[in-house]
Amino acid sequence: MAVRTIFSMAEDCARGERRGWQEFVRDYAPLARTLLNHYFPTLSPEVETHVTAVFQRARANDNAWFGQLKFQNEREFMMTFRELVFAYGREVARVPAPELSLDQVRSIMKDLPVVEREVLWLFIKGYDAARIGAMIMNSEATAQAAKAVANERLQQALPSATADAYNISARVLIAEAEKTGGDACLPLRTFNNLVNGQLSWRERELAEQHIRDCFRCLDRYTSFLEMIRLRKDAQPLGEAGIAPILSQLNLPVEKGRGIFSKLFAGGKKK
Ligand SMILES: [Zn+2]
């Protein structure tokens, strides 16, 4: 049997073939559910409906979402999928009243090194030190220490706020961060090389300097780390979970098991 890759899956999906969509739903419905629950909690009570709606969007207009996709590896695909989920959540879920502004975060982060900024941003995104440690592939102790600094500064900025308050602000802060940045922003390829340790010392230093000073890349890079971790931790959806979603995507019948192949089974096509 040929090895199935993210590329063959995406090609099948672009052609509207059931096998690709089956794999896509199996591996990515759990991620859609996690992201929607985490960043758009008002959608949680009906989350399964919303997960299906995300896949319906990708399937719409003859698989148009797949038609325009460009990615070099699964991590880049994951980031584009994240954008699809966020675009959906932003349209459907009401906007929370933010408790923190980007300017406040900027002053909270002033003089912090890049790793502590990453930790702080992930903390705002609603993760605890253990999860953050797992995401930044650093020791949990580092994340814990950085989180203590983050926590102290957030408490100074918002004395009455709870951890939930930051997470409520996260969605708005992320949208604000996306509007910053410019021509010097780092491509996903650089993030991937950074994660894989494939940059020279000098390249790494330049990349980290940019991430430190650019909210857009701080958000994108921490999202990149987040998606790698969520993907590793996600359990593929079982057949019982896949079928109800597939049934709402208007896909062609399964090859070899459709009514015609059943009719012809045992007939001339033997
Ligand atoms: Zn940037």
Q: How far is residue 120's CA from residue 134's CA, in Å, rounded to a whole number?
A: 14
- Residue 234 CA to ligand 1 centre (angstroms): 29
Give residue 223 CA to ligand 1 midpoint distance, Å: 13
pLDDT band at 138 (very low <50, low <70, confident <90, very high): low
In 3-state terms, what secondary structure has residue 266? coil
State in Å: Cα 158 to ligand 1 middle: 27
CA of 185 to the centre of ligand 1 (A): 3
CATH architecture label of 95-179? Orthogonal Bundle (1.10)
Predicted structure pTM score: 0.83
Which conformational region is residue 62 in: left (phi greater than 0), alpha (psi within -120 to 50 degrees), or beta? left
Q: Which residue has the tokens 């705002």?
A: 124
The neighbourhood of ligand 1, an ion, using CB within 5 A, equals: 181, 185, 214, 216-217
Give me the residue spans of the domains in the chain.
6-94+236-250, 95-179
At 207-238, the pLDDT tens digits run 999 999 999 999 999 999 999 999 999 999 99
Cβ atoms 230, 79 nearer than 8 A: no
The Cα–Cα gap between 215 and 10 comes to 31
> Is the confidence at residue 152, as pLDDT, over 90?
no
Ligand 1 geometric centre to CA of 57 (Å) = 29
- Distance in Å, CA 210 to ligand 1 centroid: 6
